[in-house]
Amino acid sequence: MLDDIGVNELLFCANMKVGVKDNYKESYSSQYSKETEGWRELGAIKKVKNILEITKGYIFKRVLEVGAGDGSILRFLSNEEFSSELYAVEISKSGLLQIESKKIKNLVSVQLFDGYQLPFEDKYFDLVILTHVLEHVEHERLLLREIHRVTQKLVIEVPKDYRSGAENKIKHFLSYGHINIYTPTLLKFLLLTERFKILNESYKIYDKEIYLFMKKDLITKLKAYLIYYGKLILSNVPLDYFRFKFINTITLLLDAENDEVEIFKS
């Protein structure tokens, strides 16, 4: 039943030419430049740490990053000999140029895509990486179904943006391009209902360097230290309901084969 619904919906979307809105493309086209490279690389270091940690013990030959940005994550993974074949797709031409300029070892191909349709055969990849992308996606289930089609496993990471009163901070979230917000439960529910199976999960705060980035005077540095160490303590309290209020990221490793889930069946 779920397969039929998925196929029908994908056919409908193909006819409707679902893709990233033009104004979104314009916004993202200017995101990747040398001026912001330092910030993006700092973020990529933490994301790569999380990827390596959650996939420990697994071996992947073919790895695709969906929404590869400027290629910083793939470059760091290549340096770690994470995979012998790396692939990238990205909606932004400026991101594409940045990826190509990095001359990443083991990078087989980098392609521009429409945000939803992946130009690869079924189950072509051992792993797809989707890190800090889903919060930007208008039709998140469509992208997840396409990822499910092309991969054996998925690593996904999103920021834990949800908090009380989030609806009053729309301008804040939109300034980062975040149009979806998640809790650990909401993200897991979304993925389970799209026939992924959870293999591993991790909940972290950002590295201290991220909190200190661009903090130049003593007062702002002191405030950043207090926030970091406060979150570090509170996010390690052994009560999920409490500690999830203070985490920054949700990272999951998933299998793209879960036959236990069917819609309208108990």
Query: Which pLDDT score is estimated for 31?
Result: 66
What is the H or E stretch that residue 33 is in?
none
Higher pLDDT, 202 or 94: 202
β-pairing verdict for 107-112 and 85-90: parallel
Other residues' Cβ atoms within 10 Å of the Cβ of residue 216: 7
DSSP state of 202: E
Residue 244 lies in a domain: no
Which residues are bridge partners to 203 per DSSP? 250
Residue 9 lies in a domain: yes
Query: Which pLDDT score is estimated for 26?
Result: 62
Model pTM?
0.86
Residue 173 lies in a domain: yes
Arithmetic mean of pLDDT, 255-263: 78
What is the H or E stretch that residue 191 is in?
helix 184-192
* CATH value at residue 8: 3.40.50.150
Residue 167 lies in a domain: yes
pLDDT over 90 (residue 9): no
Among all chains, which residue has been given the structure tokens 């069946």? 265
d(CA 69, CA 48): 14
Query: Which pLDDT score is estimated for 39?
Result: 78
The 10s digit of each residue's pLDDT in 124-174 is 999 999 999 999 999 999 999 999 999 999 999 999 988 788 888 888 778
Q: 22: which residues sit within 8 A by CB, 6+ positions away?
A: none
d(CA 77, CA 1): 38
Query: Which pLDDT score is estimated for 167?
Result: 83
Domain count, the chain: 1
Q: Which domain holds residue 56?
A: 2-205
The 10s digit of each residue's pLDDT in 25-52 is 666 666 666 667 777 888 899 999 999 9
